[in-house]
Structure 1
Amino acid sequence: MRALCWVAADEVAVREVSDPELRNERDVIVRVRRSTTCGGDLPLLAGRDPLLRAGDVLGAEFLGEVVEVGPAVRRHRTGDRVVVGASVACGGCWYCRQGLHSCCDNSSVDLASADPDQGRDAGGFGRPRA
């Protein structure tokens, strides 16, 4: 699939990247139809995030169509049109049940790289890998 990738400070390019795949039973894959940038993207575009690497896919808020769902997904079906926010949250941990989705215990897709001494930010689309 094609995606907008960060190349260097103030330089992006559309590149071929691997197709997404379901990693757990609650995942949903969405075919992006429209996307935009916001103020939170500006430091990334400028290359001011030390975790950003050439080839990282950018894009946080988008809308599109559901093309695949995991077996535990109940709210969405293939073909649904959806609007997706930047935060990745499980919806079931203590923080999510309190409405504190940005503190989700289960949102990082790369838990092995999380530094236990530094804490862990919530996951987010279009953000550098941890």
Structure 2
Amino acid sequence: MTNGNLTLDELYAAANEMCRKHWGVDYTGTIRLTNAKWKVRDAAFVATVDSDRLREIRMSRVVNAKLTRDEVLANLLHELVHWRLCTLGLPFDDGSPEFVRECLRVGAPFSGTRKAQIAAKLYGGVAK
């Protein structure tokens, strides 16, 4: 049964709860729900590197509707790892050792991309 249709309020509440639990801070970015029909992505983190003007997690209502609540929350946690490392000025790419280590520490899933899977194996000793 799929019930991943979380509202924006539910996503923000979950983001704040996860951020407080893992990093002791509130989530200060934005979350945008789109109607995108992504086929190879579940969610995305978008940021401006030269300023803190944009720190946004994008999720698709269409994709979320096909997932369970737990899967949507796992995707959110993965994107929150990107956000947290970005706010600290650390490498936040799926292929960076810092990202892999933080995902392992907080229990966030890895992306299914080849790059992410290689990094997970190389830096964390795990593969999907």
With the length of structure 2 as denominator, give the TM-score of the two structures: 0.32
The structure carrying a bigger strand percent of its residues is 1
TM-score, length-normalised on structure 1? 0.31
- Structure 1 or 2: larger helix share? 2
